[in-house]
Each structure stands twice: as structure tokens, then as C-alpha cells.
């Protein structure tokens, strides 16, 4: 170990010591460990402490004490962005990191304890939905596990953390949250009637397709002519459209949400006939007006503007909000509600759960199962009512016999 006395600009004296630690685990190169102290003994002890720590678990405690959470989060996000996740997912992760940064951005990661992290979740609970809080917790866990793998810290403070659950009010208990996930038969009929009476350009085609296919808005916006197999009545889902700024020229076609989202949907003939008319009109429009637009976007999108550029998913949401306002529907009806509505439609039609999941491209069974179970149970109750209506006279004979 080499030590030397250092005179600072202030005139104070300190000691600096350096010694060889374990070789770098990646390069195998020499790894010198420097430390300072007010006295020679203090500097030597700090060097020995660091070397012993590296020998035990290869963790340099100085890194964890010097690196703040926001620096670690940015480092993790740069790596995470290269894993092939969708840009929309990255956007969500950034937002969740922002919520964490508002509380621990400049806290050294080695100082973030289990109790500190739990307090953060507890403090957030009144301001966020539990699902949002769960997302924040998942992101934090990924960040801290990354730090552990990179030998920056020893422990993950998110391990064993409890995501607070708000206690429901009596009114919330009385409400059925599952029924709010999808449109009932009469609600769907009312909405589609509003589309027919008040819909704007392409509203009819897009909302009928969403309702009878269960596809996502981004998948619908990404549909191109080659995805439509009209002779077989099949729509191929193999991509989704992402547009962060909702600028028609700044879009990106990316793989669907999950591997299970790549699928062929067998579509009902009236819907396919409607889509075939859209494609034919697009072809006619392109021949007649392509020369009018200097930057005509010739990518054969099924649902496109006059200049060939596709609509962004946000456009569907805006159109739907307008149409819902012309109905008596009180549910939080966004375009995503059609995915759950389609699940309920298939369930009522007696389609088995695995087939439903394949059709809507769900790899996560939780949401599908929730709607499927609810509708199935409701069908059982309806069956009892129908039997009573049809065979009520026979059932009344029970009372006659008992008397």
C-alpha cells in the first residue's frame, strides 16, 4: 500500500492511500483502490475496507454512495430502451421514473433503505390509482436489480415492499367494476347507432371493426392493403402504429404489443365487405388525386387521410369521445373498451377462452378471464330466468303438490 501526505489549498493536511484490489472482473486488469482520510491510519483503513468489500461481493460501496437515483435511473433506461420494448412502454417508464425522481432524485442509491422506499409508496398512495402505483413499483424494482447486477449496491429496497391498497367506500363496493370494462349489448347498439347518425369520415368503418375484431387502436391504424385477405375473410395483425406527437408525418410502425398479438382474425363478411369498399375507394382516390399532393404518402394504409398518411390512435379517441357524448352511456368509454366488449361478445356466443385469447391477442389472461368469468356467471343467472319464464307453469305445480 502506498500512502502520501497531501497539503490542501486551505492549508489543512490529509492522507491519500492506494492499494491493489481484486482484478477487474470483466477485463482482468489491475484494479487500484484509492481512499483519503484525515490521518494516515484512517486512509489505510478505508482502503482495506473497500478491498475487503470487493473480495466479499465485488461491490465498491463508494459507487453506491456517490451515485444518485436519477443518474442510476437514466443509466438503466438507456439500457432498457435497447431491449426491443415499444416506445409507448418507454414513455410510461419515463413517467414512472419522474414520479420517483420527485422524491429521491438526488438521494445516493446506497442510502435508499427498505423503510425509506416503503414510505415513498405510502406517501404516493393518496394521489395515484393502485395500478399506477404498481407500475411505479415495478419500474423501481427493475432499476435497483440493474444496480445489483452491476455491483453498485447489495440490496433491492423494493423487495418485500407493499403497494398500498385504498379501502373502498360503500358506494364503490356496490358498483360492479367489471361491468364498467365493456359495453353491454344495448350500449353497443346505442353507440353504433350514434356512429351511423352522427359519425364523421371513416367513423363507421373503424368503430365497427374495433367492436367486431377486438383489435387495438394502434393495430387498426397500422392496417395496410396487404393485411386484408378479402377472399378468405381474414385480417392479418402484424404491427402497430406509434405516434408520440400525433403528427401524421411522424409515425412509426413497430411490432405488436406482445408475440401473441401477431395473429390472423377471421372477420364477419359484412365487415370485410365494408373494408373492401374502403380499399377500393382509396385506390380510386390515389389515381385521381395523387398528383395534387407533393408529398403523397403511398403506403396503402386502409384508414388514411387524403394525402395518404395514416390517422394516429389519438384521432380515434377524440372521435369516440364526441360520439359517446351523443348517447346515454356513462361508462369511461375509450377505444380500448371495444377489446373487452369483443371478449364479452365471444363469451356470449359460447366461444372457449383459449380461442378468445388468440383472437384478441392477449397473452395476459387476467383481464380476459375477468370479463369472461363475469359474462359467464351472468349468462347462468339469465338462463335461470329464461327457464322460469318458459317453464313457470310447470314449476308452480310444485306448490300445488306440496299443498
- The 3-state DSSP class for residue 281 equals helix
- Mean pLDDT computed over every residue of the chain: 87
- Given 33, 58, 83, the domain boundary residue is 58
Alpha carbon of residue 78 to chain centroid: 18
* Same-domain pairing of 103 and 193: no
pLDDT interval class at 162 (50, 70, 90): very high
* Same-domain pairing of 236 and 353: yes
- The 3-state DSSP class for residue 352 equals coil
* Same-domain pairing of 292 and 245: yes
- Compute the distance between CA of residue 321 and CA of residue 122 in angstroms, rounded to an integer: 34
Higher pLDDT, 117 or 364: 117
Residue found by looking up cell 416506445 in the block: 87
Residue 21 lies in a domain: yes
pLDDT value, residue 210 = 97
Closest CA to 140 of 163, 123, 165: 163
* Same-domain pairing of 282 and 343: yes
Residue 379 lies in a domain: no
* Same-domain pairing of 53 and 73: no
How are the residues of the chain apportioned to helix, strand and coil, as percentages rounded to the nearest 5? 55, 10, 30
Residue 281 lies in a domain: yes
- Compute the distance between CA of residue 117 and CA of residue 100 in angstroms, rounded to an integer: 10
Range of the domain at 28: 2-58
* Same-domain pairing of 214 and 278: yes
Quick one: CA dihedral 47, 50, 51, 52, positive or negative?
positive
Number of compact structural domains in the chain: 3
Residue 159 lies in a domain: no
Alpha carbon of residue 74 to chain centroid: 20
Residue 109 lies in a domain: yes
Structure confidence by residue, pLDDT tens digits, 119-159: 999 999 988 888 899 999 999 999 999 998 888 888 899 99
- Contact between 136 and 128 under an 8 Å Cβ cutoff? The reply is yes
Cα-based distances in Å from 200 to 5, 47, 172: 80, 73, 36
* Same-domain pairing of 130 and 223: no
pLDDT at 399 over 80: no
Q: What is the largest CA-CA distance in the chain?
A: 110
* Same-domain pairing of 319 and 237: yes
C-alpha cell at 10: 486551505
What CATH number does residue 76 fall under? 1.10.150.130
pLDDT value, residue 154 = 82
pLDDT at 66 over 80: yes
Q: Walk across the sheet containing 13-21 and list its strands.
A: 2-7, 13-21, 31-37
Closest CA to 253 of 300, 203, 207, 199: 300
Higher pLDDT, 62 or 132: 132
pLDDT interval class at 173 (50, 70, 90): very low
Residue 158 lies in a domain: no
pLDDT at 367 over 70: yes
Structure confidence by residue, pLDDT tens digits, 313-363: 999 999 999 999 999 999 989 999 999 999 999 999 999 988 999 999 876
> Which of 26-30, 179-183, 245-249 is predicted least confidently?
26-30
Residue 398 lies in a domain: no
* Same-domain pairing of 104 and 32: no
Residue 261 lies in a domain: yes
Higher pLDDT, 391 or 370: 370
* Same-domain pairing of 240 and 136: no
* Same-domain pairing of 237 and 359: yes
pLDDT at 375 over 70: yes
* Same-domain pairing of 294 and 222: yes
Amino acid at each position: 500500500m502506498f500512502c502520501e501526505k497531501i497539503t490542501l489549498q486551505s492549508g489543512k493536511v490529509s492522507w491519500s492511500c492506494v492499494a491493489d484490489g481484486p482484478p477487474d472482473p470483466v477485463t482482468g486488469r489491475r484494479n487500484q483502490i484509492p481512499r483519503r482520510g484525515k490521518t494516515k491510519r484512517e486512509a489505510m483503513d478505508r482502503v482495506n475496507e473497500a478491498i475487503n468489500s470487493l473480495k466479499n461481493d465485488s461491490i465498491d460501496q463508494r459507487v453506491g454512495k456517490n451515485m444518485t437515483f436519477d443518474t442510476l435511473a437514466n443509466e438503466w433506461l438507456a439500457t432498457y430502451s435497447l431491449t426491443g420494448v415499444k416506445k409507448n412502454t418507454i414513455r410510461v417508464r419515463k413517467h414512472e421514473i419522474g414520479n420517483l425522481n420527485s422524491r429521491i432524485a438526488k438521494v445516493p442509491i446506497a442510502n435508499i433503505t427498505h423503510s425509506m422506499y416503503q414510505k415513498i409508496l405510502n406517501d404516493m398512495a393518496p394521489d395515484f390509482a393502485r395500478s399506477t402505483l404498481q407500475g411505479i413499483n415495478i419500474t423501481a424494482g427493475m432499476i435497483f436489480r440493474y444496480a445489483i447486477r452491476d455491483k453498485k449496491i447489495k440490496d433491492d429496497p423494493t423487495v418485500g415492499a407493499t403497494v398500498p391498497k385504498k379501502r373502498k367506500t360503500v358506494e364503490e363496493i356496490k358498483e360492479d367494476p367489471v361491468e364498467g370494462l365493456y359495453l353491454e349489448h344495448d350500449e353497443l347498439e346505442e353507440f353504433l347507432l350514434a356512429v351511423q347518425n352522427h359519425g364523421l369520415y371513416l367513423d363507421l368503418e373503424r368503430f365497427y371493426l374495433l367492436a367486431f375484431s377486438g383489435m387495438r387502436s394502434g393495430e387498426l391504424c397500422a392496417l395496410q392493403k396487404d393485411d386484408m385477405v378479402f377472399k378468405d375473410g381474414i385480417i392479418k395483425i402484424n404491427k402497430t402504429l406509434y405516434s408520440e406527437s400525433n403528427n401524421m408525418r411522424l409515425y412509426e410502425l413497430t411490432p405488436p404489443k406482445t408475440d401473441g398479438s401477431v395473429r390472423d382474425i377471421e372477420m364477419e363478411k359484412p365487415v370485410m365487405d365494408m373494408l373492401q369498399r374502403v380499399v377500393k375507394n382509396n385506390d380510386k382516390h390515389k389515381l385521381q388525386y395523387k398528383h395534387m399532393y407533393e408529398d403523397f404518402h403511398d403506403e396503402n394504409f386502409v384508414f388514411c387521410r387524403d394525402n395518404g398518411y395514416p390517422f394516429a390512435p389519438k384521432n380515434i379517441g377524440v372521435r369516440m369521445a364526441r360520439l359517446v357524448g351523443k348517447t346515454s352511456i356513462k361508462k369511461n368509454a375509450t377505444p380500448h373498451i371495444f377489446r373487452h366488449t369483443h371478449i364479452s361478445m365471444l363469451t356470449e356466443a359460447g366461444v372457449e377462452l383459449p380461442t378468445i385469447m388468440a383472437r384478441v391477442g392477449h397473452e395476459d389472461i387476467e383481464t380476459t378471464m375477468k370479463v369472461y368469468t363475469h359474462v359467464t356467471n351472468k349468462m347462468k343467472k339469465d338462463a335461470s330466468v329464461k327457464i322460469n319464464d318458459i317453464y313457470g307453469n310447470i314449476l308452480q305445480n310444485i306448490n300445488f303438490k306440496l299443498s
